[in-house]
Amino acid sequence: MEHLFQGQLVLRTRCLECESFTERREDFQDISVPVLDDEPGSPDDLSEVSPDPKPGPKTLKWAIAQFASVERIVGEDKYFCETCRHYTEAERSLLFDKTPEVITIHLKRFSANSLDLDPYAGLSKVNTPLQTPLTLSLEEWCTRSSAATGQRYRLFAVVMHSGVTISSGHYTSYVRMSDLQDAKLWDGKETGEEEEAEEEEETQAKDERPDYDDGEVSFTRGPRAAASASGKTGGKKKKSSEGAVGLLGGQRSLASCELGADGSKRRKPAGDAAGGARDGAAAAASTSCGEAAERRALNSLREYEGKWLLFDDSEVRLFEEEDFLRACSPDTSSTATPYLLFYRRMPPN
């Protein structure tokens, strides 16, 4: 999880007198960016009619620039510089020092309002559109060491919110199908092998438990020795555990061997060789059919490369990229807006 989603930010404060700076680093799993400018200072500003034309929609690069913008520290908030030994004006900036494989961007779609009778605890939905590119570069907001590595990302998942308030609405998600040429079908063999290994360990642990309270482990005698033991006990039929001899040293008996009267090991008879050959041929044919079906499934799956899947409760629909862009457009629905954006690092060219 840390490798995929966790990065590191550096907060850099630079003194404007001596140009020295200090840095503080902190980890992050996502960043929150605005979709609107700062709210007007007074209600009168809302009623003013500006002669300027209406500005165009904001872009995601603008939003990230607001997140990483340079802040001027002046007045009562002056910065105490350790080099100058007094309070000075300074600039504070936020940069990406380490970027994750997947960067999660949260769009601030809910903002506080000043309405006294607001039934939604002073929070309203911001349906302002924000232009979101399919590819994104973070190089201009990275430190030098971080900018040297690949900082180009591609959009591969979006969480949408449909609704006009924070207390109501509906969430859906889009996911882009990619890198299917490297896809492999999961056949459960690895999990099956792990389960078999666990069962074998459990069986082995049970087998290693002592049959007697004195910790001895028993093995079965050969037929003649068993018969002799039976005679000594009056010919009564005994259980295998009663016809066992304890060995100090804890050596386990071999399940596939028996001990003869002279102590030599004898193998249990093997199965039918012809039957084993038939089983092997059937298994090989089954494996061949399975591999052919797997190839057909993979070829069918690769046809979805670059397409988008919509997940809406129990419904899953397939979209071409053009249809996906149209579905996310504010022209399609003014209340269905992106809420979370997921970008994955692109391989270097």
Domain extent at residue 127: 2-39+57-180+304-345
Q: How far apart are CA 6 and CA 2, in angstroms?
A: 5
Q: How far apart are CA 164 and CA 110, in angstroms?
A: 10
- Pair (18, 78) in one structural domain: yes
3-state secondary structure of 274: helix
pLDDT of 121 reads 53
- Kindly list the distances between the CA atom of residue 16 and the CA atoms of 10, 67, 88, in Å, as whole numbers in the listed order: 19, 22, 7
Q: What is the DSSP string of 141-196?
A: GB-HHHHTS--EEEEEEEEEEESSSSSS-EEEEEEE---GGG-----SHHHHHHHH
pLDDT of 99 reads 92
Phi, psi angles (nearest 5°) of residue 46 = -75, -30
Q: How far apart are CA 186 and CA 194, in angstroms?
A: 14
Under-70 pLDDT residues of the chain? 38-56, 112-122, 185-195, 205-287, 349
- Pair (226, 324) in one structural domain: no
Does residue 170 fall inside a structural domain? Answer: yes
- Pair (69, 22) in one structural domain: yes
Q: Which two tokens stand for residue 288?
A: 């061949």
Does residue 203 fall inside a structural domain? Answer: no
Q: How far apart are CA 241 and CA 226, in angstroms?
A: 12
The one-letter amino acid at 105: I
pLDDT of 87 reads 92
- State the CATH number of the domain containing residue 99: 3.90.70.10
What's the number of domains the chain is made of?
2
- Please give the helix or strand (H or E) that residue 133 lies within, else none: none
- Pair (251, 321) in one structural domain: no
Does residue 236 fall inside a structural domain? Answer: no
Report the Cα 111 to chain-centroid distance in Å.
30
Are 217 and 251 a contacting pair, CB within 8 Å?
A: yes
- Pair (163, 263) in one structural domain: no
Instruction: Look up tokens 């629905």; give the residue.
Output: 333
- Pair (82, 149) in one structural domain: yes
**Nearest Cα to Cα of residue 321 among 128, 129, 156, 137:** 156
Beta carbons within 8 Å of 25's beta carbon, 6+ residues apart = 8, 9, 10, 11, 97
pLDDT of 173 reads 95
- Pair (151, 98) in one structural domain: yes
Dihedral sign, CA of 7, 110, 155, 57?
negative
pLDDT of 167 reads 73
Does residue 195 fall inside a structural domain? Answer: no
pTM score of the predicted model = 0.64
Residue 257 bridge partners (DSSP): 267
- Pair (35, 150) in one structural domain: yes
- Pair (256, 310) in one structural domain: no
- Pair (61, 169) in one structural domain: yes
Does residue 144 fall inside a structural domain? Answer: yes
pLDDT of 279 reads 66
pLDDT of 194 reads 66
**Nearest Cα to Cα of residue 153 among 100, 224, 205, 214:** 100
- Pair (127, 225) in one structural domain: no
Q: How far apart are CA 217 and CA 241, in angstroms?
A: 10
Does residue 211 fall inside a structural domain? Answer: no
Does residue 88 fall inside a structural domain? Answer: yes
Q: How far apart are CA 20 and CA 2, in angstroms?
A: 32
Q: How far apart are CA 16 and CA 341, in angstroms?
A: 36
Four-point Cα dihedral 164, 166, 167, 168, nearest 10 = 40
- Pair (262, 116) in one structural domain: no
The terminus-to-terminus CA distance of the chain in angstroms comes to: 26
